[in-house]
Structure 1
Amino acid sequence: MIERRSFNEIRTVGRRIEGYAATFNSEARIGKFVEKIAPGAFREALAGDVLAMLDHDPGKVLGRTRSGTLRLTEDSRGLAFSLDLPDTQPGRDVLALAERGDLGGMSFGFTVPQGGESWQGEQRTLRNVSLKEISVVSAWPAYPDTEIALRARQNGADAERRRRALILARVNA
């Protein structure tokens, strides 16, 4: 299943919004464990087609890397994005809310390929993620420790695939 994380940094430039969809080495409490994203975790994902959506809703696509309306880069801080907003109702809504400073933040949806994470006790480090989408969050990114579905973690280096559930967690950058 796709996991999701949220961040707060968006600015407007004309009909474009920019900011960070994720930041590196910032710790987030996700239920009973702490998680951080290692620099380079998105490197492989940047070659694929990634969507930009409103509130993780596939019916509200705002852009995509394949068409060039969404641009993603990794820098020393994290996963930076630049999104040209469409002249659609969701695009106009995002622009108006961004200009007023009323957006909740950014989020991203991902899966973790085998070997893409490491555990040290109750700390998870994401080293390689398969990025599926980034989302503008119009209302509230979830607060730390807020889960909308349970996620299971199996112990041991030889663990089979970990079951994934949707989780929204706000990370203070």
Structure 2
Amino acid sequence: MNEQERRFTRGPVEVRAAGESRTIGGYAAKFNALSRNLGGFVERIDPGFFAKSEGDGWPEAMARYNHDDNMLLGTTGAGTLRLAVDGTGLDYQVDVPAARADVFELVQRGDVARSSFAFYTFEDDWAMTEQGFPVRTLLSGQLVDVAPVNTPAYLDTSTGLRSLAERAGAELEEVRGAAEDGQLARFLEPKPAATVIDLKTSESGGQGDPHPLLAVRQRRAELMRRRTF
């Protein structure tokens, strides 16, 4: 999957240090917490989702106010953005530059109180919640940025629907239509289990006729016998 996605967390962004450093931070993502309804399904983030990005040293990860390229706050490369994964989620701290003192003030006053993160998904999985609602689990991906945001919003979730369509072998438009009707669960219904036949106890079809599998074996044995003569 190569489409960028964005999600926000209910955890607050806050001032971590004042004075010359002007550091703000918070949890950009929280593990195993179900999201709100994203249009027929919910999501959770697996604790291992950021493992590759972390292992690679958070390459090119940034902090941007409202995910805006023109509002860069810090980068991992310059050491002005620091990221850490713990049992709760992905925590970030960014030293806000003097040119973005307004962003620091907005966070300090509480006008900006939420965080978000942008990412690419490498691997996900689909299942059902205990309440029978479709849930997408984000298993691995790459972090693009973390961002304090004014109005947390889920953007287009078509990447998630495309993932489900590929899993179910269905057309994207069919899955999208099912999402609009609240019928995504039908793409996650378990397939009927294959019938297992025990030849030790069932060598006949129950009506006195040879079992079909036994008949195939007998036919193969007859062909092999003929080839030997």
TM-score, length basis structure 2:
0.62
Identity of aligned residues (%): 35
SS at match of 1:80: strand
Residue pair 1:40, 1:74 contacting (<8 A) in 2 also: no
Deviations 1:137-160 (A, max 9, x none): 0x2112xxxx5435133435486x
SS at match of 1:30: coil
Aligned residues: 152
Where do 5+ consecutive residues of structure 1 fail to align? 163-173
Q: Which amino acid aligns with 2:156?
A: A
Equivalent position to 1:11, from 11, 14, 20: 14
Q: Looking at secondary structure, tell me which structure has more helix per residue.
A: 2
C-alpha separation between the residues in 2 aligned to 1:70 and 1:126?
24
Q: Looking at secondary structure, tell me which structure has more strand per residue.
A: 1
Q: State the structure with bigger RCO (CA 8 A, min sep 6), 1 or 2.
A: 1
- Which residue of 1 is the match for residue 109 of structure 2? 100
Residue pair 1:21, 1:107 contacting (<8 A) in 2 also: yes
- Which residue of 1 is the match for residue 143 of structure 2? 131
How far apart are residue 32 of structure 1 and its match? Answer: 1.0
- Which residue of 1 is the match for residue 33 of structure 2? 26
- Listed as ranges, the matches of 1:87-166 within 5 Å are 87-88=98-99, 91-113=100-122, 116-121=123-128, 122-137=134-149, 139-142=150-153, 148-149=155-156, 151=158, 152-153=161-162, 154-157=164-167
- Listed as ranges, the matches of 1:7-86 within 5 Å are 7=9, 8-12=11-15, 13-14=17-18, 15-28=22-35, 29-46=37-54, 47=57, 48-86=59-97
Q: Which amino acid aligns with 1:92?
A: A
How far apart are residue 31 of structure 1 and its match? Answer: 1.4
CA RMSD of superposed structures (Å): 2.0
C-alpha separation between the residues in 2 aligned to 1:72 and 1:148?
24
Q: Which has the larger radius of gyration?
A: 2
How far apart are residue 9 of structure 1 and its match? Answer: 1.5
Where do 5+ consecutive residues of structure 2 fail to align? 129-133, 173-229
